[in-house]
Amino acid sequence: MDKQTLIDHLNEDLAGEFGAILQYITYAAKATGPYRPQLAQFFLTEVADEQMHAQFLANKIVALGGEPTTQARPVPPAKTNREMLEAVLVAEKQAGKDYTRRAEEAEAYGDKGLVVALEDMVRDEMGHSEETERMLRDWPL
């Protein structure tokens, strides 16, 4: 794993985190119905975690000598509460897979601190996807 490839992959992750922030902010605004207060709260709580991930990645990219992207991954279209939760579950599972892969790449590159940080992020994203999956399990509509 060479440094430039690692920087490029971390930038793909950073675009994903920016996309997740946009996704949660817009979905929080769009949540409707009797569960709106809890859903909006849930989505907005996630924003704080994703912001921490984005900040970590931007700092690490600069530390490695790279330029952090300012592009966000597109937010998947979703109309209903269920569609939004399903889109969130897909994105969170993907993030968990991406950081698992990235931790392996950081190991190959030889940056143990980055490995540990990325593994922490795997745990965060797993928590997000498990929470979302449980909400969807008995979703009424």
Q: Which stretches of the chain bind Fe ion, using CB under 5 A?
A: 50, 53, 92, 125, 128
CB nearer Fe ion, residue 4 or residue 38: 38
Minimum CB separation of residue 83 from Fe ion in Å reads 18
Minimum CB separation of residue 7 from Fe ion in Å reads 18
CB nearer Fe ion, residue 11 or residue 33: 11
With beta carbons less than 8 A apart as the criterion, state whether 19 and 74 touch.
yes
With beta carbons less than 8 A apart as the criterion, state whether 91 and 23 touch.
yes
Helices first, then strands: H and E counts in the chain: 4, 0
Minimum CB separation of residue 98 from Fe ion in Å reads 9
CB nearer Fe ion, residue 34 or residue 70: 70
CA separation for the pair 43, 13 (Å, rounded):
20
Rg of the chain in Å (alpha carbons): 16
